[in-house]
Amino acid sequence: PYFFGEKESQVTIEGNVMIGKGTIVKSGTSITGPAIIGKDCKIGPNVSIGPNTSIGDNSEISRCNIENSIIMSGCKINGDFSIRDSIIAFNAEITKSNTPNKVFLLGEGTRISL
Q: Global pTM? A: 0.86
DSSP-derived secondary structure letter, 102: B
- Mean pLDDT for each consecutive 10-residue tract of the chain (114 residues)? 90 97 98 98 97 98 96 94 90 76 69 70
pLDDT at 100: 60
pLDDT at 101: 60
pLDDT at 2: 87
CATH topology of domain 2-113: UDP N-Acetylglucosamine Acyltransferase; domain 1 (2.160.10)
pLDDT at 36: 98
DSSP-derived secondary structure letter, 27: T
pLDDT at 107: 72
Return the H-helix or E-strand segment holding 24: strand 24-25
4 contact partners, CB below 8 Å, separation of at least 6 = 19, 20, 21, 22, 23
